[in-house]
Amino acid sequence: METVTTRSGIELAFDRVVGGDAGTVILIGGAFSYRRFPKLVELAEKLAADYRLTVINYDRRGRGDSSDSPGEYDVDNEIEDLAAIVDAAGGRAAVFGWSSGAGLALRAAASGRVPGITKVVAFEPPFVVDHDNFVPSADLAEQLHALIAANKRAEVVRFYMAKGMGMPRIFGLLMPLTPMWKHLLATAPATAHDWAIMADFMRGAALRPEDWAGVRVPTLVISGAKSDALLRTAARAITAVLPDASHRELAKLSHNPDIGLLAPVAGEFLVDAPQPAH
């Protein structure tokens, strides 16, 4: 484990898997994720072994071995965090984001505050661009923050899965019976950071090109044919408004992905003619 401290004093923990001379990619997990989440570890190892990439897998603030800013939930904070990780990577890196981590990758690239980003892979960012499926409630942040402040972690997990992610309520009821429950409880307070990233783009409104014009690096948006319609729609919508983006929808892939299907598509894009940072 390595660490880096941001300008605001947040200590971020990360692992570095050295694969070769094909460049560096930073993995950004989504809600309830952390750097030792098995599928992130598998993805890191596969990108390093098969594509000679150096892969940095980090704990976003409030997760794993990274510190947090309780009560302070702002996307700018996580963009600052990512900038610190890029600096720790040597100042230039591609980013691979999963779910709300993909939202963070795209928002960081659009902000212009992380000029070292060279490419973006966005795996199923959960934008909600219409009212055909699920739209979170307008007061979600207020309820979520209150549950977190009261340290009601089990309720946070169930609430965010149902109200922030649109999962059937039964999933939240069954999760305590699974081995991952303890990890969900550990990362539950960090869901407020996920919501800070995604809230403005989960209102059922079309994405606007002007919000994403700053993403000037090559971008690959990936979705799975087995994923919910909301996520497949979101992938097409964000691809359409990005300046330099392509979209791949993979058969047999879901939001809980088979890394053997996901890694080759991401890896080939990441090592193909890397572009200079803008």
Give the residues across from 220 on adjacent strands.
121, 246
Question: What is the predicted pLDDT for the residue at 276?
Answer: 38
Question: What is the predicted pLDDT for the residue at 139?
Answer: 93
Q: What percent of the chain has pLDDT over 90?
A: 90
How far apart are alpha carbons 14 and 2 in whole angstroms?
A: 5
Name residue 60's amino acid. Answer: R
Question: What is the predicted pLDDT for the residue at 170?
Answer: 76
Strands 2-5 and 24-28: unpaired
Judge if pTM exceeds 0.85.
Answer: yes
pLDDT category at 169 given cuts 50, 70, 90 is confident
Asked if the model's pLDDT at residue 172 lies above 80, the reply is no
Give me the chain's average pLDDT, please: 94
pLDDT category at 180 given cuts 50, 70, 90 is confident
pLDDT category at 277 given cuts 50, 70, 90 is very low
Q: Supply 94's token pair.
A: 């591609």
Cα-based distances in Å from 260 to 44, 97, 125, 214, 264? 12, 17, 20, 32, 7
How far apart are alpha carbons 194 and 30 in whole angstroms?
A: 7
Asked if the model's pLDDT at residue 174 lies above 70, the reply is yes
**What's the gap between Cα 7 and its chain centre?**
22
Closest CA to 271 of 20, 101, 99: 20
Closest CA to 232 of 136, 130, 126: 126
Q: What is the pLDDT of residues 154-164, one digit of tens each?
A: 999 999 999 99
Question: What is the predicted pLDDT for the residue at 130?
Answer: 95
Cα-based distances in Å from 172 to 9, 161, 181, 184? 34, 7, 10, 10
Question: What is the predicted pLDDT for the residue at 273?
Answer: 53
Asked if the model's pLDDT at residue 197 lies above 50, the reply is yes
Exposed e or buried b per residue across 211-226, where buried means at least 16 C-beta atoms within 10 angstroms of its C-beta = ebebbbbbbbbbbbee
Strands 2-5 and 11-17: antiparallel
CATH number for the domain whose boundaries are 2-127+207-271: 3.40.50.1820
Asked if the model's pLDDT at residue 253 lies above 80, the reply is yes
Q: What is the pLDDT of residues 68-98, one digit of tens each?
A: 999 999 999 999 999 999 999 999 999 999 9
Question: What is the predicted pLDDT for the residue at 258?
Answer: 95
Question: What is the predicted pLDDT for the residue at 98?
Answer: 97
How far apart are alpha carbons 131 and 124 in whole angstroms?
A: 18
Can you give the residue ranges of every domain in the chain?
2-127+207-271, 140-197
